[in-house]
Amino acid sequence: MSLLVPRFVTTAERPTPELLARAAHIAERCGLPLRRRNGSMRRTAGAAACYVVGKQREALWSPTASIFVHEGMTLARAADGLDHPLVRAVAPQGRASRIADGTLGLAQDALHLAMALDAEVLAAELSPVVFSLCEEGLPRLAHDSPVAEAAARITPRLGDSATVFAGEPDDSFDAVLVSPMFTQPDRAPVGYEAFRGAAVHEPLGEATVAEALRIAPRLVIKARAGEPVPPSLEGRRRQVLRGRALEYWVVEREGA
């Protein structure tokens, strides 16, 4: 899959001063140029991917799709309740009040866990582009959507997971979830190449594992079946819970 890296930030047509200020802020944060909107998105961007500060929402635009934060499959996944393999991996006793998510992405897992467990979720995201989408999208969902209460319980933080976790006290979470980018994605939705182009592709590092098991007794890694085990997990005992298409590797703190 070829990646479409976002090349610039732009706005809706006839932007307000507030939209222009927000676009300038995101452009500075992401280290991208701010480009004036010039008619249609096709005319403005051509074949490039870009970040669009719209009047209704913000999105990562590419010629094949417009990617933004939405409820997605949250309601369908949450319908499984405590029986969903992700929920069982994170909260085997069916209870968790605070969860840390080390790879927020478009917040699908965070929304699911916040809804299924009525949990507060602290979520780290290293990509400034993806973080900006969540910074806009989660408050929008919390204001008016079927997942409003869950969205309101998610706190996004910009930064790598190890650094974000390092600022939290010992044993301040019930579990930590990390979902590294799959090495070889398949059956990806249309436009996913733009999301992968904006995301940070880093393996699960030893610092993240160490910090995760300091702030919580349980670390869950979301993986595709057959995904190689990263060096940071070598020598650690892990339990594997299998879902329909994914696996959830559970690593518990020694002595927990």
The 8-class DSSP code of residue 110 comes to H
Residue 97: domain span: 74-252
Domain end residue (candidates: 23, 44, 67): 67
Report the distance separating Cα 132 and Cα 158, nearest Å.
9
Q: Clarify whether residues 143 and 29 are in a common domain.
A: no
Residue 180 burial class via C-beta count within 10 angstroms: exposed 0-12, middle 13-18, buried 19 and up: buried
The packing angle between helices 128-143 and 17-30, to 10°, is 140
204 within domain boundaries = yes
Domain end residue (candidates: 22, 41, 67): 67
1 within domain boundaries = no
- Cα dist from 216 to 170, 204, 235, whole Å: 7, 17, 19
Cα 93 to chain centroid, rounded: 25
Pair 209, 233: CB distance under 8 Å:
yes
Q: Which residues of the chain have pLDDT under 70?
A: 1-2, 182-191, 255-256
The 8-class DSSP code of residue 133 comes to H
Q: Clarify whether residues 81 and 97 are in a common domain.
A: yes
Domain end residue (candidates: 48, 67, 86): 67
Q: Clarify whether residues 59 and 79 are in a common domain.
A: no
- What pLDDT was estimated at residue 146? 94
φ, ψ of residue 94 to 5 degrees: the values are: 80, 15
Q: How many domains does the chain have?
A: 2
- What pLDDT was estimated at residue 230? 87
Pair 172, 213: CB distance under 8 Å:
no
Q: Clarify whether residues 102 and 228 are in a common domain.
A: yes
Q: Clarify whether residues 89 and 214 are in a common domain.
A: yes
- What pLDDT was estimated at residue 151? 98
C-alpha closest to that of 175 among 253, 112, 240: 253
C-alpha closest to that of 117 among 85, 81, 141: 81
